[in-house]
Amino acid sequence: MPAEAPHDHSPSAAIAAAEQLCATRGQNLTELRRSVLRIICAAERPIGAYAILDQLRSEGRSGAPPTVYRTLDFLLEQGLVHRLASLNAFVACCDPAERHGGQFLICEACGRVGELNSARVEATIVEEAAAVRFAVSAQTVEVLGRCAACLRLPAGPSA
Amino acid sequence: MPAEAPHDHSPSAAIAAAEQLCATRGQNLTELRRSVLRIICAAERPIGAYAILDQLRSEGRSGAPPTVYRTLDFLLEQGLVHRLASLNAFVACCDPAERHGGQFLICEACGRVGELNSARVEATIVEEAAAVRFAVSAQTVEVLGRCAACLRLPAGPSA
DNA sequence: ACAGTTACGTTACTGTATAACATCCCCTGC
DNA sequence: GCAGGGGATGTTATACAGTAACGTAACTGT
């Protein structure tokens, strides 16, 4: 993975954590929502809405685009997944307990995405914006490059 | 405009500058490319590919989506326009002579976009990424908030 | 039983982007 | 002059992204 991974990334662990979070928030992690979260976690890479839909169908579920987008809205609101604007795709959040805006490191070799979430980056953006009298309300930071693993293997792991 | 504007933003001046740049680079700024650049400059706000297409047609040109996307690819390669991933839209570059990745300030009140292009922000991102052994090759920074003009007029100028 | 809320199903549509192939035109070499 | 090549554009069709609007099922609380 491109960046820090101080927690368990296995799908089942992520589901369990999500279950916990939703419970304490009084939110309902339904079967469909669990399925979509599991699909996103299992993907390891950003996955598009229609790819999620395909997987749902291959699991025997009926469904149409709104099914997926509604579910994604829920997962986004709960901070369980993030949306990558530059890819029109979704990734599981590495630390849903901590609400954070998104700073992402996207490896152009292996396609994997890590979260940066640097308070220093965020603060610098706010300061520099303030210098031109711009009041920040939300940031999108998506950084393309090569992750540690792919720097070690210039051929590039594709799995 | 949200941010600094140290240069002439009139469409004709932008076209002239583009002409110059393409000439020195041995690139062909055709009538179509000039038209699309003029449309984007005149828009003042980010404009979508299909809105560009509509304007081209209203100028009497034939055209289909690939016409516009190919032209945008050229203008993007030449650094004459930028793409805003979070809006699926395009803006004219404020300073095409200087190649730069994009840092944008998007005003959520008036919809105008300014370029931040802070070397400090860029450097901070590179440093923080390096700390997790990620080698940056390109950055996407799109910041939502309120520009100076809209902060002064809380009702928000819409023109 | 009843209304209200939440989640999901379904149809239809708009918007964004690209693949693949055809054509035109200009230029160069012969 | 004309054959061939490359760049730019035209054209058709389609894939991918996202939403509106409406219907329905199930689970509340009263």
The residue ranges of every structural domain in chain A are 11-92, 102-152
User: What tens digit of pLDDT does each residue of A26-66 get?
Assistant: 999 999 999 999 999 999 999 999 999 999 999 999 899 99
DSSP B107: E
Name which of B100, B105, B94 is nearest B14 in CA terms: B94
Mean pLDDT of the region B94-118: 92
Reference B102, options B149, B26, B46; nearest CA is: B46
Give the containing element (helix H, strand E) for A135. strand A135-146
- Interface check A108 vs B, CB under 8 A: yes
Select from A139, A131, A142, A5 the least CA-distant residue to A84.
A142
Q: A63's torsion region: left (phi>0), alpha (psi -120 to 50) or beta?
A: left
Interface membership of B6 toward A (CB under 8 Å): no
Q: What's the mean pLDDT when you consider all of chain B?
A: 90
Confidence of residue B48 (pLDDT cuts 50, 70, 90): very high
Between CA A14 and CA A8 the distance in angstroms is 7
Is residue B8 over pLDDT 90? no
Half-sphere exposure of B42 (CA within 13 A, CB side): 11
Which bases in strand D are touched by protein, i.e. have an atom under 7 Å from a CB?
7-14, 16-21
B69 C-beta less than 7 Å away from strand C = yes
Instruction: Tell me the mean pLDDT in the region B140-159.
Output: 83
> For the domain with range A102-152, which CATH number is right: 3.40.718.10, 1.10.10.1110, 3.30.420.10, 3.30.1490.190?
3.30.1490.190
Cβ of residue A10 closer than 8 Å to a chain B Cβ: no
DSSP codes joined into one string, A65-126: HHHHHHHHHHHHHTTSEEEETTTTEEEE-S-TTS---EEEEEETTT--EEE---HHHHHHHH
* Residue B4 confidence (pLDDT) above 70: no
pLDDT at residue B147 in the model:
96
Q: Which of A149-158, B45-54, B79-88, B102-111 has the lowest mean pLDDT?
A: A149-158
Rounded to 5 degrees, what are φ and ψ at A128?
-65, -35
CB–CB contact B143 A125 (8 Å):
yes
Asked if the Cβ of residue A31 lies within 7 A of any atom of strand C, the reply is yes
Is residue B156 over pLDDT 70? Answer: no
Using the predicted structure, report yes or no on whether residue B6 has a pLDDT greater than 50. no
pLDDT band of residue A5 (cuts 50, 70, 90) is: very low
What integer pLDDT is reported at residue A33 of this predicted model? 97
Chain A's closest residue to B134, CA to CA, is A147
Cβ atoms of residues B107 and B146 within 8 Å: yes
* Distance from residue B64's CA to nucleotide C19's C1', rounded to whole Å: 14
pLDDT of residue A155: 62
The pTM assigned to this predicted structure is 0.90
Please tell me the CATH code under which domain A11-92 is placed.
Answer: 1.10.10.10
Dist CA A96 CA A80 (whole Å): 5
Output the average pLDDT for chain A.
90
